[in-house]
Structure 1
Amino acid sequence: MKAVVTTGNGGYDKLEYRDVPIPVPAPGEVLLKVLAAGVNNTEINTRLGWYSSSVEGGTEQLSQAGDGPASEDGGWNESTPFPFIQGTDCCGEVVAWGPGTNGPAIGKRVLVRACMRLNGFDSLDNIWMASDFDGAFAQYVTVPASEVFEIHCDWSDVELATIPCAYGTAENMLHRAGVTSADRLLVTGASGGVGSAVVQLAKRRGAHVIAVAGERKLDSVRSLGADQVVARGLDLAVQIEDSSVDVVIDNVAGEQVGTLLKLMSRGGRYASSGAIAGPITTIDMRDFYLKDLRMIGCTAWDEPVFPNLIGYIENGELRPLVAKAFELQDIATAQQEFLKKTHFGNFVLVPPLIRE
């Protein structure tokens, strides 16, 4: 089969489009034909080695610097298993089951839960498809049967491939923060994959949403239901009243975190699962403890998150946001365009047609 193999930390030369063996499902696994695979920051960060504790800048800064750090701590759980196949988002079709394994019938269309709690949901231990084992940038992929969810809707394969990582991450932060219709919520990076998912999912919960995004994308973010939009780069302390925000969903981080805490009301909740502008920040601890704030780290997805998303889609409660689809072999072009951040919505890769 055709696949993109990531051979190590570094630039686009580490992405090799080549023939590899079709994987064979073991007991407890399912073999999927990949119909479409989304593009995320996660794959770029992993290739660049951004998860290394030695990195202090944002994704874009590291990408412009060239090769990623030659560091053994470049993975988020443990050393990244190079060479391997990336691709965190998978819309696929069931092809075969491993011995003694059951699930959706052959030919059914499914989504894969990318964040897997294989030790049970009482443990925060987790592994991720395409960071800890081979993912969906290929014509076929094997995954644990417990992580395959059949879906019935009129969305295209490309549209469904935008969901798992971005929307799972967004729903997990909202779930952990306990967002309800009583909340005023601020989301940074609202035009990105996760940010735009947060806007939709928070509005679905009835929250009042304040969205921060690039000026050219404000109308697009507003079209998702945001109640207030603020152009990135403006002084948030001027645009938003101090101590008026109940929940902050922030995957941008960088220098602005201290300002965000000042905007939060007493007992507010700050949730994050990323730091695309940079992982190192400074806060005034008095804002944190005098306001009784909660800071919530969100990596491991909680049990209701992915079933919730399947239900939202099947009930027509979400809108797919596809910016552009690329052929699998054009992954480097897709990632280059992704990092320009001029798009709205998600990029998706489509493997070559399998002739059966």
Structure 2
Amino acid sequence: MGRNTLLQSIPSKMKAVVVTEYGGVEKLEERKVPVPIPKENEVLVKIYACAINNSDILMREGGYGTDTKSSEKAGWKREAISFPRIPGTDIAGEIVAVGENIDSSCLGERVVLFPFASSGPDGSEHMAEDITLMSSECDGGYAEYIAWPKELCRTMPLSSYVESSSFIVSCFTAWHMIEKSKVAPGEKILITGATGGVGSYAIQIASKVFGANVVALARDLSLKEKMIELGASEVLSYKSKTLSEDILEAAGGEIDVVLDVVGDPLFSTCLKVLRNGGRLAIAGAVAGAVTQLDIRTVYLKHLSILGCTLGTRKEFDQMLAAIREGKIQPLIDKTFPLGKAREAQEYFKDSGKFGKVILKNEG
């Protein structure tokens, strides 16, 4: 990096929180590590905020399993992680240095980072075999700086670093689920895990962007009013012993689309309440990754089951546009300084929170 490629003095070392090996929060360790140097077509971003996701927790715990053994420890690609690894996929920051082939006029831009790189063509980049996801295949945002391709940087949708970081993976995943499900205005949508990051953003997107009627499922009803404010027509507790009947009554009939992040405990209910020809979009399994399926239910009801992870650059840009237009509001529960990453991840797993948990870098 020459002088004309720098916005400010860049230190040689930075503070980062790394995962040293699979395990509990004790495997998160604060270290001083080299500041990355942007390569050709890359920029160096000074990180001011990074939201926490379930993927950060699952990466540390090795919770994705492998293709041959669901309980084996592995990362997001169902392969072994190379440790130490800096977690974090939801980054908002400022471009402070550029690599070769990048015009220095971008210095000072306040950006959010598209969270993965791949060689896949537009529209299927999220399905490429060589996908490189921050926090799994490469270092992420629990740090002071990151080097990232300039073409994967986008102007921050809001003026706040913290608020802008809150959307990146959770809201993006929710958007992709709804796009892939081809949700139409007036359709009846069931959203599980509705107080979580993906679920709470899905309520907003489905109701306020796509014009659907939303029934939200949550652990309890203490946050019912907040979910109604976000756009849910009805909010139900999944602890009900008559849950299927409750859903059908609340929706006024069978469901067109289910957006599920819970997994096993609600899987049979999701299939039961779908209409013939309904769609089930799955983007998580926070309460159980292995389930039983009566395949006859799928073909006799002509159901479509859609696996959803991340999304396309076009969808990411559409999401950012909706945020700028005020159709999707940031949902933030609490912020922590970077050095409190252990406490932040423990708090993140607290079922009582509503909205995103954010790590901040000061200065």
- Shorter-chain TM-score above 0.5: yes
Which residues of 2 match residues 195-206 of structure 1 at below 5 A? 195-203=199-207, 204-206=209-211
Deviation at 1:77, TM superposition (A): 4.7
Aligned residues of 1:323 and 1:345 also touching (Cα < 8 A): yes
Aligned residues of 1:168 and 1:306 also touching (Cα < 8 A): yes
* 3-state SS, counterpart of residue 323 of structure 2: helix
Task: Give the residue type in structure 1 aligned to 2:233.
Answer: D
Change in 2 beyond 3 A, CA 1:220/1:104 = farther
1:301 corresponds in structure 2 to 311
The Cα offsets for residues 222-261 of structure 1, whole Å up to 9 and x where unpaired, read as: 1101011101311321202297000000000113211210
* 3-state SS, counterpart of residue 178 of structure 1: coil
Q: Residue 227 in 1 paired to residue 233 in 2?
A: yes
2:58 corresponds in structure 1 to 45
Q: Distance in 1 between matches of 2:310 and 2:93?
A: 23
Change in 2 beyond 3 A, CA 1:104/1:333 = farther
Q: 1:153 aligns with which of 158, 162, 165?
A: 158
Q: Residue 92 in 1 paired to residue 77 in 2?
A: no
Aligned residues of 1:115 and 1:301 also touching (Cα < 8 A): no
Deviation at 1:75, TM superposition (A): 4.3
Q: 1:180 aligns with which of 180, 184, 188?
A: 184
2:325 corresponds in structure 1 to 315
Q: Distance in 2 between matches of 1:306 and 1:322?
A: 20
Task: Give the residue type in structure 1 aligned to 2:246.
Answer: Q
* 3-state SS, counterpart of residue 249 of structure 1: strand
* 3-state SS, counterpart of residue 233 of structure 1: coil
Q: Distance in 2 between matches of 1:110 and 1:142?
A: 13
Q: Residue 163 in 1 paired to residue 167 in 2?
A: yes
The Cα offsets for residues 125-148 of structure 1, whole Å up to 9 and x where unpaired, read as: 122111110111101011122211
Q: Residue 238 in 1 paired to residue 245 in 2?
A: yes
Deviation at 1:74, TM superposition (A): 4.1
Q: 1:135 aligns with which of 140, 147, 157?
A: 140
Task: Give the residue type in structure 1 aligned to 2:223.
Answer: K
Deviation at 1:34, TM superposition (A): 0.3
Deviation at 1:152, TM superposition (A): 5.0
Deviation at 1:102, TM superposition (A): 4.2
Q: Distance in 2 between matches of 1:135 and 1:247?
A: 33
Give the count of matched residue pairs. Answer: 338
Task: Give the residue type in structure 2 aligned to 1:97.
Answer: V
Q: Distance in 2 between matches of 1:98 and 1:236?
A: 55
Q: Distance in 1 between matches of 2:259 and 2:155?
A: 29
Greater alpha carbon shift after TM alignment, 102-111 vs 5-14? 102-111
The Cα offsets for residues 174-227 of structure 1, whole Å up to 9 and x where unpaired, read as: 111111213110000001001001000101210000000122122221110101
1:212 corresponds in structure 2 to 217
2:350 corresponds in structure 1 to 340
Deviation at 1:45, TM superposition (A): 0.3
Q: Distance in 1 between matches of 2:286 and 2:137?
A: 21
Greater alpha carbon shift after TM alignment, 242-251 vs 27-36? 242-251
Q: Distance in 2 between matches of 1:336 and 1:296?
A: 31
Aligned-residue Cα RMSD (Å) equals 1.7
Aligned residues of 2:244 and 2:273 also touching (Cα < 8 A): yes
Deviation at 1:101, TM superposition (A): 2.3
2:106 corresponds in structure 1 to 105
Q: Distance in 1 between matches of 2:331 and 2:104?
A: 29
Q: Percent identity?
A: 35
Aligned residues of 1:151 and 1:314 also touching (Cα < 8 A): no
Change in 2 beyond 3 A, CA 1:303/1:284 = same
Q: Distance in 2 between matches of 1:267 and 1:273?
A: 20
Q: Distance in 2 between matches of 1:148 and 1:77?
A: 27
Q: Distance in 2 between matches of 1:127 and 1:335?
A: 23
Q: 2:42 aligns with which of 29, 51, 58?
A: 29
Change in 2 beyond 3 A, CA 1:352/1:133 = same
TM-score, with length taken from structure 2: 0.89
* 3-state SS, counterpart of residue 342 of structure 1: coil
Which 5+ residue runs of structure 1 have no aligned equivalent? 57-68
Aligned residues of 2:16 and 2:33 also touching (Cα < 8 A): yes
2:336 corresponds in structure 1 to 326
Aligned residues of 1:36 and 1:348 also touching (Cα < 8 A): yes
1:66 corresponds in structure 2 to none
1:63 corresponds in structure 2 to none
